[in-house]
Structure 1
Amino acid sequence: MTHFVLVAGTWLGAWAWDEVAAELREAGHDVHALTLSGLAEKQGMAAGQQTHVQDIVDEVEHLDLRNVVLVGHSYSGVPVGQAAERIGDRLARVVFVDSMVPVDGESALSGWPSDDVRQSIADNDGFWMPLDTDDYVGQGLTGEQIARIVSGSTPHPGATATEPAVLARPIAELPATYIKCLLDGEEPMDAVAEALKSDRWELVRMDTGHWPMFSQPRQLARILHESATRP
């Protein structure tokens, strides 16, 4: 049996995966959607980037999961990528869903124009504040889906985005699938493009926006199911 551990991106909790998790369970998989420290029902918990890495490692080790597919969306690709390295032979594959990827010594905000995000964190007592409704327009989402995301979002602990990643080896050495959501830009970030040169990585494109767990949950679940069969 494949054990999926699903980790949503900035501002979101385990609830964001409800529809995808249901599809994967129907396909016979074991699924664990994880809320990172400081978010959703875990608001108020202090968190830096390594806290989030440890959240993921602890989920795998405490449940004694093996044949694990770690799935990271958006920001969470950074802690998921580090956790994938640390769980060793428990890992079957890591799937990055339109996400950032960790680069040793670099933060989640490195490699893209993020001065406004850094300023927002400084202006909001160390938190990266959620987006407004208008920010989700053009991402393949219905009004109802946008309302669900906005109502469920909580401020994101800023240190998790500004602290550096710690990797023992290049991320390209892990077996990985990268899902690029085309409404969020057709080309992956430079660090992703570099990793995709590895014969251990595959690229899958989805014709939707940055939040496919809401806009195309069934299609996303199918891709995750297929990733579980990759060598």
Structure 2
Amino acid sequence: MTVFLMVAGVFTGTHVWRETAARLAGAGGEVHAVPLTGIDPDRPAPPAGADLETHIADVIAAIDAVDAGAAGSGREIVLVGHDYGIHPVLGAADRRPEHIARVVYLDCGMPRNGLPALAAVPDQETRARLAERARQGGYAGELPPPGRDEWQRWGSTAGLGDAALDRLTALAAPQPLGTLLQPLRLGGAVASVPTTGVLCTGNGATIELVQRLVDLGDPTLAALTDPRVGFFELPTGHWPMLSCPADLADVLLRAAAGEGHRLRPAGAGGTPAHLRPFPLDVPEVPRDRKDHVDLYVPAADGPRPAVVFVHGGPVPAGGRPTPREWPTLVGYARLAAAEGMVGATLDHRLHDIGDYERAAGDVAAAVERVRADPRVDADRVALWFFSGGGLLTADWLAAPPAWLRCLAASYPVLAPLPNWGLTGGRFRPARAVAHAGALPVVLLRAGRESPEIAATVEAFVTAAGNSAAHLEVVDVPDGHHGFETIDPPEDTVPAMRRAMRSVITHLTR
């Protein structure tokens, strides 16, 4: 028999597991929702308040209670941690590894030794405020739960009906600050425990996305390719125990049986998509490196217009080659040079969702370096953004300088995904486009984009249609995200050429 010990996320207690637990029990499992001190009514916080170690102790007590009656029974414990709940789950599993058959990460990050749960808080305004509180010392106090209209700041509410959202709000509890600010301490024993990741696609995570991150060479993700690690997807938002409890129960039963999609190690599936050849034959224009900017300059007289290509992300800091050397970026830059333009690629420091402000500064500095080059016509520059770099278009749309003759974007993310926690207004292109004036915008839209990203693109197209911006949509009907190196050239090259011609036309008018 499998024993499921289930630990809820931030602001929520045992009540969220009610329907899922009933289905697991009906399938023959033993289920215990672990009450957490200071969250669940039957576990009031001590006078000094609860912290992460308090909740780790709660989970250890639940493990020990199962073990006390498990002698000779053959029962196996599966620990399920949702959201914040993965932190006490890992802390407990690290101290009782021999008692745990599997740990299930339910729509949550990958906590690391020495970091507090605060590092995984999606709402970045709250994260910044609490980080300052932590610098001042002390863990006392509580974080009030969200109001009914504020849950979206903590994760996608996709799939939650009004009744479920009312219930989530009514039963929410303040989160003790110590549970978010106290660092997680792991001795390393938990690494021996098999794991399963359950990704909620409505919250922005997919197996394909995780595989791409692995392929980028992020060393922190290498462990996910261990054959003992499996993955599942649920097409719902961040609270699947409320939006699709039957589907969640089925996935948890399959996870306990060792099922799940396995990721391939970086390079095991051949050349990763981001390093595959550019689909167009372009001249071998030499590279001229200027700090974190590479220029591809045509053999032409006088200053030339320039196209600056801005990569997406997040991209791991230690990955090699860096994005400005990826075949797609270099290919586009050389294609621009073949058309008589200066092509430029750059590296910016978008290594984490919280790095957009820093990346925006890097891009602005790189653009000024390009414009300052004597071979560049500083009054005729286009910016071309890719993928997750799409959010960086917002600054340029909100206040386009006179020298910016065109803005292009390929399969861009044009609004923060639900689990990114970017609740402020700066990196929201659909809002910014209202201030773009008559700026020409060329948008390459992938017909087989993920639904979550496609929704951000459609919202942008609608907003642009209500503004003065001159939007040209270039569709790649059968294209996927990153189509240049994924899809057949006959499906993609015509659109790529059309987009480049449009950008050049705007630069040379």
Same-fold status (TM-score > 0.5): yes
Distance 1:14 1:204, change over 3 A: same
Which of these residues, 82, 85, 101, is aligned with residue 76 of structure 1? 85
Please list, as runs of the form range in 1=range in 2, the aligned pairs for 1:47-58 lying within 5 A after superposition.
47-58=50-61
Distance 1:80 1:180, change over 3 A: same
CA apart distance, 1:184 = 1.2
Distance 1:191 1:11 in 2: 32
Conserved? CA contact 1:76–1:100, under 8 Å:
no
CA apart distance, 1:222 = 0.3
User: Match of 1:201?
Assistant: 229
Bigger shift: residues 65-74 or 24-33 = 65-74
Distance 2:141 2:98 in 1: 36
**TM-score normalized by the length of structure 2:** 0.42
User: Match of 1:127?
Assistant: 142
Query: Which has more radius of gyration?
Result: 2
Conserved? CA contact 2:97–2:190, under 8 Å:
no
CA apart distance, 1:200 = 2.1
The letter of the residue matching 1:44 is A
- Count how many residue pairs are aligned between Structure 1 and Structure 2: 231
Q: Determine if the alignment matches structure 1 residue 88 to structure 2 residue 97.
A: yes
User: Match of 1:145?
Assistant: 164
The letter of the residue matching 2:92 is A
CA apart distance, 1:44 = 3.3
CA apart distance, 1:102 = 2.6
Conserved? CA contact 1:171–1:195, under 8 Å:
no
Bigger shift: residues 57-66 or 44-53 = 57-66
Bigger shift: residues 71-80 or 101-110 = 101-110
Which of these residues, 62, 66, 70, is aligned with residue 65 of structure 2? 62
CA apart distance, 1:26 = 0.2
CA apart distance, 1:62 = 2.6
Distance 1:170 1:60 in 2: 16
* CA deviation map 1:134-189 (0-9, x unaligned): 23464221011000000000101111111111111175542000111111112569
The letter of the residue matching 1:16 is V
Which of these residues, 90, 96, 108, is aligned with residue 99 of structure 1? 108
The letter of the residue matching 1:17 is W
Q: Aligned to 2:55, what secondary structure does the other structure show?
A: helix
Distance 1:107 1:28, change over 3 A: same
Q: Aligned to 1:53, what secondary structure does the other structure show?
A: helix
Q: Determine if the alignment matches structure 1 residue 224 to structure 2 residue 239.
A: no
The letter of the residue matching 1:119 is R
User: Match of 2:22?
Assistant: 22
Distance 2:228 2:105 in 1: 13
Distance 2:148 2:252 in 1: 28
Distance 2:222 2:50 in 1: 29
Bigger shift: residues 25-34 or 185-194 = 185-194
Distance 2:118 2:4 in 1: 26
The letter of the residue matching 1:208 is T
Distance 1:191 1:49 in 2: 27
Please list every run of 5 or more consecutive structure 1 residues that lacks an aligned counterpart in the other structure: none
Distance 1:13 1:182, change over 3 A: same
Conserved? CA contact 2:97–2:192, under 8 Å:
no
**TM-score normalized by the length of structure 1:** 0.89
Conserved? CA contact 2:121–2:127, under 8 Å:
no
Bigger shift: residues 78-87 or 143-152 = 78-87
Conserved? CA contact 1:101–1:192, under 8 Å:
no
The letter of the residue matching 1:142 is G
Q: Aligned to 1:70, what secondary structure does the other structure show?
A: strand
* CA deviation map 1:110-144 (0-9, x unaligned): 2666452352695xx62122112123464221011
Distance 1:39 1:111, change over 3 A: closer
User: Match of 1:2?
Assistant: 2
Q: Which has the higher contact order (CA 8 A, sep 6+)?
A: 1
Distance 1:111 1:155, change over 3 A: closer
User: Match of 1:158?
Assistant: 177
Conserved? CA contact 2:101–2:193, under 8 Å:
no
Identity %: 34
Distance 1:44 1:69, change over 3 A: same
The letter of the residue matching 2:144 is M
Please list every run of 5 or more consecutive structure 2 residues that lacks an aligned counterpart in the other structure: 134-139, 260-509
